[in-house]
Every structure is written in structure tokens, then in C-alpha cells.
């Protein structure tokens, strides 16, 4: 069985679905091949912080109905440390921009429905086994057996562990930041009005609201820790300590419904294209979650690639496609740099010198308007 389409897309995350929607809206045929089931795709709990550029893309292309109805504007974050707590109203700093909090699983659900309404097709439960970049061909396996799909172009949107990135030759610049987080999802309302970053000698802790009844917490843990060893009692005790609840008030607690280890690593491919294959999102660059840039980078790249493909297919102009890597990579590296800046700010070092530097950075962020403007611009932007 061989499927033919114009643009073949591997992966039904935000990158692949935004790309597919933008192309379908222009009458360009697409096929999405996704290894997970539709239920899994639409229930995977991931980051929900959408930057202003992402909100613009979704709104301009008719993909923002759910976000506009249920998303919440967020423009304040807080830092806690040994010298107390301070808030930054970043909606009044830098360019005066805000985040929209909208759970990624809800966004993906919206994008799947819209894509199918626009005439797109998704092969859920199909595992890509091989990629040929020169002919824009993939081989995959699903419950019916082995299949082949071909297109004029192929978009690799299948993540950092996907197959498509292996088909792009060239250097992979990798950094292991030496930090691991226990990512916890609690069925509990938010305990603080703002996203809160807690800096403590025991390790970093973070508080991020996801919905009125669900809150994401992060705890820095030793690399290699088993999430199963973190009982609910141990998790809440560590959060109480690092969030300094005796000083700032108790957390609103509830059942822990998810716990997993996140290793803070970064990887950038250069180039992010080869022959008829173009990488988007985590397939092109993996970024640590310290600055919530992953989904926002993916959607930015999807819009750029869609525009380039439309130029090639509608106007016989492949120059934007040829420049895809050169266009995306400077933005990717700026996001990587700010992500690394956040890692250095939030995580304790083993020596007094670096602990004092971290404290000085927090003081500067608290007191310096220039430092605050820098933070605000990079925190919400790409």
C-alpha cells in the first residue's frame, strides 16, 4: 500500500498540526502519520504557556477558538529565595507582552478537529520505520501491516526521539545541563496567583497553574532518580520546604496524578533540512523546559515552513525553502541562550562562589529595570 500526497508530515503534535492546518487552508494536500493513538495525542499533558507570537499565529489562521474561549492571560511571575519574594509584572516591562495559559492537550485537540474539518488525514497508531529525504518517502507500520507514504516534500515533526531527524546529516550540538526535574501534576488548584520560581539550596522548585483544578509543580532531583521513589508525602514535604510555606503560606494540595523525570538537555541540528525533508519543533532542536520555549518554537517554525512551502508550490519559488535553516536557527539559538540563562539563575551550585553569583542575579532582577526589561522581552518572545 502506497499513499501519495503533496506534503507528508511525520508527527501530530503542535508543529505538525499547525503546519497541516496552514497548508490545508491553501488547498495543499497533506497526510499526517502519527505513532500514538488519537486519545493519547489529545490527552498528553505538556506545557501550556503560549507566547504572543504563538497566539498571533493561531488567531490569524483561524486556529484560536478554544484558546480565546478558555485561555487565560498571564503577565506576572514571582521568585522566592533566601532574601524573600518579589514579583515581576512582565506585562508592563519590555514590550508589554503576556503569555496565554492554555493546556497543550486542549490546543492539540482543537488542532486535530480543525485539521480534519479542513480535509486533512491523520494515520494514528502508525510508527515510522524509515525515511528517504531525497524522495520525501517514509515507511511505517500500523495494525494493518507495513505501509509507504510519499510526497513532494516531507516535514519531520516527530520530536527529539523521532526517526526523521536521523535522516538529516550534519552536526548535532548537544549540551547536558546536569540538572533533572521531577515533573508533578497535581489535582489541586493553584496556590499562588503567579508562576513561581523557588530558589533553595535543596534544589529548585516551580509552581505553574494549568487549569482551575490542576497545577504543575517541578522539583529538582538528582540525575537518575526513580520517580516511583517520590511518594506523595515526600513530594509535598519537599515542595513545602523549597517553597518556604512557613514564611509564605501553605500550598493547596491534592492527589498526584503524574510524576516523571525530565532531564534538562539541549540539542540543535544544523542544518535542519536535507533534500526534500524539513525538520520542525523538537525534531529540529530539543530545548530544556526552563523557559517554556519548546511549543512556541515549534509553532513559529511551522508557520515559516508553511509559508515557504506555499511559495514553492503555488509560486514555483523555492528560495524560502532553501533559506529555511538560515531563517530558523538564529531564533532557535536565542531561545537556547535564554533557556540556559534561566538554568543558571534557578539551580544551586555546590560552591559558595556560584551561590553568591546566583543571589546577585536575583538581586539584579529584583532591582534593575534594565535587567527586568531584558527578562520580560526574552521570557515571552522568540
For position 10, what pLDDT does the model report?
98
Q: Are 140 and 146 in contact (CB under 8 A)?
A: yes
C-alpha cell at 19: 503546519
pLDDT tens for each residue of 156-200:
999 999 999 999 998 899 999 999 999 999 999 999 988 999 999
Q: Which residues are catalytic?
A: 74, 197, 289, 293, 379
Q: Residue 239: which of 223, 262, 261, 216 has the closest Cα?
A: 216
223-278 per-position pLDDT tens digit? 989 999 999 999 999 999 999 999 999 999 999 999 999 999 999 999 999 999 99
In 3-state terms, what secondary structure has residue 21?
helix
Which residues make Cβ contacts (< 8 Å) with residue 174, sequence separation at least 6?
265, 266, 267
Distance CA(377)–CA(370), nearest Å, equals 11
β partners of residue 244 = none
Residue 284: CB partners within 8 Å, gap ≥ 6? 156, 165, 268, 269, 272, 301, 328, 332
Per-residue pLDDT at 314: 96
pLDDT at site 1: 64
Instruction: List all residues 6 or more positions away from 231 whose beta carbon is below 8 Å from its beta carbon.
Output: none
For residue 305, what are the contacts with CB-CB under 8 A and spacing of at least 6? 19, 155, 278, 280, 324
Topology at the third CATH level for domain 2-59+103-174+265-340: FAD/NAD(P)-binding domain (3.50.50)
Q: In which residue ranges of the chain is pLDDT below 70?
A: 1
> DSSP assignment of 304-319, as one string?
HHHHHHHHHHHH---H
pLDDT confidence of residue 209:
81
Nearest to 197 by CA among 103, 98, 97, 77: 77
Output the average pLDDT for the chain: 95
Distance CA 362, CA 356 (A): 10
Q: In the 3-class helix/strand/coil scheme, how is 135-170 assigned residue by residue?
A: CCEEEEEECCEEEEEECCEEEECCCCCCCHHHHCCC
- Kindly write down the DSSP assignment for every residue of 245-283, as one continuous string: HHHH-------EEEEEEEEEEEEEESSSEETTEEE-GGG
Amino acid at each position: 500500500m502506497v499513499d501519495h500526497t503533496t506534503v507528508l508530515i511525520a508527527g501530530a503534535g503542535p508543529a505538525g498540526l499547525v503546519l497541516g492546518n496552514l497548508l490545508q487552508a491553501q488547498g495543499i494536500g497533506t497526510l499526517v502519520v502519527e505513532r500514538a493513538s488519537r486519545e493519547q495525542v489529545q490527552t498528553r499533558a505538556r506545557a501550556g504557556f503560549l507566547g504572543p507570537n504563538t497566539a498571533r499565529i493561531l488567531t490569524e489562521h483561524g486556529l484560536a477558538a478554544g484558546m480565546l474561549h478558555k485561555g487565560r492571560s498571564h503577565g506576572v511571575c514571582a521568585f522566592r529565595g533566601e532574601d524573600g519574594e518579589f514579583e515581576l509584572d512582565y506585562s508592563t516591562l519590555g514590550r508589554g507582552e503576556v503569555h496565554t495559559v492554555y493546556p497543550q492537550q486542549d490546543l492539540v485537540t482543537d488542532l486535530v478537529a480543525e485539521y480534519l474539518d479542513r480535509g486533512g488525514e491523520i494515520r494514528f497508531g502508525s510508527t515510522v520505520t524509515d525515511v528517504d529525504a531525497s524522495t520525501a518517502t517514509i515507511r511505517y507500520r500500523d495494525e494493518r501491516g507495513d505501509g509507504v507514504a510519499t510526497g513532494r516534500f516531507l516535514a519531520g515533526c516527530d520530536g527529539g526521539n523521532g526517526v526523521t531527524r536521523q535522516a538529516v546529516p550534519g552536526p548535532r550540538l548537544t549540551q547536558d545541563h546536569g540538572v533533572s526535574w521531577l515533573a508533578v501534576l497535581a489535582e489541586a488548584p493553584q496556590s499562588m496567583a503567579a508562576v513561581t520560581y523557588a530558589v533553595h539550596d535543596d534544589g529548585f522548585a516551580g509552581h505553574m497553574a494549568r487549569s482551575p483544578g490542576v497545577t504543575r509543580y517541578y522539583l529538582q532531583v538528582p540525575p537518575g532518580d526513580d520517580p516511583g521513589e517520590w511518594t506523595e508525602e515526600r513530594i509535598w514535604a519537599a515542595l513545602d520546604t523549597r517553597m518556604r510555606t512557613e514564611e509564605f503560606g501553605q500550598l493547596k494540595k491534592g492527589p498526584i496524578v503524574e510524576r516523571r523525570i525530565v532531564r534538562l538537555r539541549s540539542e540543535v541540528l544544523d542544518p535542519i533540512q536535507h533534500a526534500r525533508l524539513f525538520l520542525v519543533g523538537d525534531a529540529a532542536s530539543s530545548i530544556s523546559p526552563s523557559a517554556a520555549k519548546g511549543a512556541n518554537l515549534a509553532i513559529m517554525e511551522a508557520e515559516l515552513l508553511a509559508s515557504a512551502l506555499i511559495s514553492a508550490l503555488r509560486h514555483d519559488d523555492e528560495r524560502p525553502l532553501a533559506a529555511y535553516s538560515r531563517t530558523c536557527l538564529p531564533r532557535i539559538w536565542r531561545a537556547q541562550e535564554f533557556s540556559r540563562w534561566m538554568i543558571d539563575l534557578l539551580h544551586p551550585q555546590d560552591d559558595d562562589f556560584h551561590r553568591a553569583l546566583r543571589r546577585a542575579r536575583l538581586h539584579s532582577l529584583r532591582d534593575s529595570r534594565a535587567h527586568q526589561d531584558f527578562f520580560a522581552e526574552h521570557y515571552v518572545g522568540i
